[in-house]
Amino acid sequence: MIIRSKAPLRLGFAGGGTDVSPYSELFGGAILNATINMFAYATIEPRDDGRIVFNSVDRMQRLELATSDALEINGELDILKGVYNRVRAESACSPLSFELTTYVDAPPGSGLGSSSTLVVAILGAFAAWLRLPLGEYDIAHLAWEIERQDLAMAGGKQDQYSAAFGGFNFMEFTAGDKVIVNPLRIKQDSLNELEFNILLYHMGTSRLSSTIIESQVENIANKEAAALEATHRLKEQSLMMKESILKGKFDDIGEILNYGWKHKKAIATGITNPLIDEIYESAIASGATGGKVSGAGGGGFMMLYCPKNTRYRVVEALQRFGGEFRRFKFEKHGNQSWCL
């Protein structure tokens, strides 16, 4: 028996950072994001020898352990261990013996929500194997608890929900960990135009998002005026972006991205740096009307909006920076699991 699962990575269009506590509890957050055809994969192969094998292919790490009620969290493939620990505790099952193989299409620190998406994919595989009655909200919330509570990883809430639900979503975050996912109905012509106009550019650098997010959390908790005002503007940006996409106002999207990027940089240190600024300014000078660094910032993927046929000039202008352009399509499905 083989159990497989995959969950899609996401692009954050607007509102990023408003899903992070304590802002979401104090003021309510709002985010617009969309999943793309890049995935986190998980495969479970049951064993009967009392061993657990973790095999992270993209990280080139393999770990073999004796099965246990709870595996030690010690810096070695902790995400995989954390999911196992919570699944075993929540399902009250006996210690399990299996091999878990994982792979993510984007490198760590890419800004596409890879860690959270991987947690969702692993949970989906366990749910299919153990026949756990978990819906999209259940898996997303459980993934958030594993990362933020069990493993004490800094971050927000959007990534887990985008991976579980898939598609274009407007998400609302309120006190008490309440999340409302509002799927957006977007015409295929509009999706095609967005795919054509958006360039996804990997800058060849990664970043540790937790450091940036911890600085953001501290600024909000201390009610630092500039960071607080900037986060309010990002929530406003999510509403602006939702209206523009739903109404097909494509000429406004770049300007709205630029508006958000300007305010995003005021939330915390480390979101941008001289190289990021130079890449962004070169793209704007070549015809892009806006963009942003995906995720917390600091490196990884940059999303650039290039209307009409300006994408070709932007691609040419950024060649000198040595990064990589990644073609993508929007993905309408969230986490999917199946058994062989």
**In terms of C-beta density within 10 A (0-12 exposed, 13-18 middle, 19 or more buried), how is residue 86 classed?**
buried
Listed residue (134, 163, 168) closest to 7, CA to CA: 163
Other Cβ atoms within 10 Å of 327 Cβ, number: 9
- At residue 32, φ and ψ (nearest 5 deg) are -120, 125
Could you give phi then psi for residue 170, rounded to 5 degrees?
-105, 115
Q: Record the tokens describing residue 37, joined without a space.
A: 């055809």
Q: Is 1 exposed, middle or buried (0-12, 13-18, 19+ CB in 10 A)?
A: exposed
Catalytic residue check, 189: no
Residue from 150, 159, 177, 252 carrying the catalytic annotation:
159
Residue 34: C-alpha distances to residues 93, 163, 316 (Å): 35, 9, 27
Cα distance between residue 254 and residue 246, in whole Å: 15
Q: What is the CA radius of gyration of the chain?
A: 20
Annotated catalytic sites, by residue?
159
